[in-house]
Amino acid sequence: MRLDNLLAQEKISRKSMKQALLKKEILVDGLPACSLAQNIDTGLQELLFQDRIIQGYEHTYFMLHKPAGVVTANKDKKLPTVMDLLPQHLQSEQLYAIGRLDRDTTGLLLLTDNGPLGFQLLHPQYHVDKTYQVEVNGALTPNHIQKFKDGIVFLDGTTCKPAQLEILSSSPTFSQATITISEGKFHQVKKMFLSIGVKVTSLKRTHFGPWCLDDNLQEGDYRHLNSKELTIIRDFLRKSG
């Protein structure tokens, strides 16, 4: 939650917030707050306003293993959504997925009610990498590795940022690979492989930044982030403050 919104819930005036900020009387984990727009989670961070502890609001974070056939949305009139995979008591209008996966793409999704966090993680300035396991219907060669490294160019002239392609197996009709990208253009991974003449037949996201899909999490299952994963969020909030 934004720092100013959090303090407003404590009936602190905007004028008092600004004055305290200038005087460095707002501390987050012992350090002066950078701005009133700073994203704070008092469940993970200690917030002091003029030596007074602010309890604030503790956000929710889930890891979900998205199955195929489910859309990344809160509601859909025709198709099941990722929110439908959660029990009723956990479903909330404030909960949403950070980023999206296509209907037929499986793998790692982070769900949270911390809106600013999702915006930050998806913002180009933070360069959050995403890694996918890919299967395609043709051969992959070392030449393709260089093409991805140089930046794939779509037919419409759009140039992708450099990506890392690792070939796991290759044959004339079937190849497996992993690909790591740092942006999120529409259907990007599928278009990148089409640009080199092969079609993606299976796509699974295994990593989103430093978060890794839990091997014990079956498709359609979810869990709360563990302490190590929450520490990653806390560290990110500090750096992006």
Catalytic residue selected from 102, 104, 129, 214:
102
Q: How many CB atoms sit inside 10 A of residue 124's CB?
A: 10
**C-alpha dist (Å) from residue 157 to 109, 154, 195, 241:** 30, 5, 11, 36
Contact (CB, 8 A) for 201 and 137: yes
Are 70 and 79 spatial neighbours (Cβ–Cβ below 8 Å)?
yes
Strand order in the sheet with 47-49: 31-32, 26-28, 47-49, 52-53
**Crossing angle between the packed helical segments 115-122 and 227-240, to the nearest 10 degrees:** 70
Pairing of strands 200-208, 222-224: unpaired
* Residue 102 is among the residues annotated as catalytic for this protein: yes
Cα–Cα distance, 149 to 142 (Å, whole number): 11
Q: What is the three-class DSSP state of 92?
A: coil
Residue 74 Cα to chain centre, angstroms: 16
Per the CB < 8 A criterion, the answer to whether 75 and 63 are in contact is no
* Residue positions annotated with a catalytic role: 102
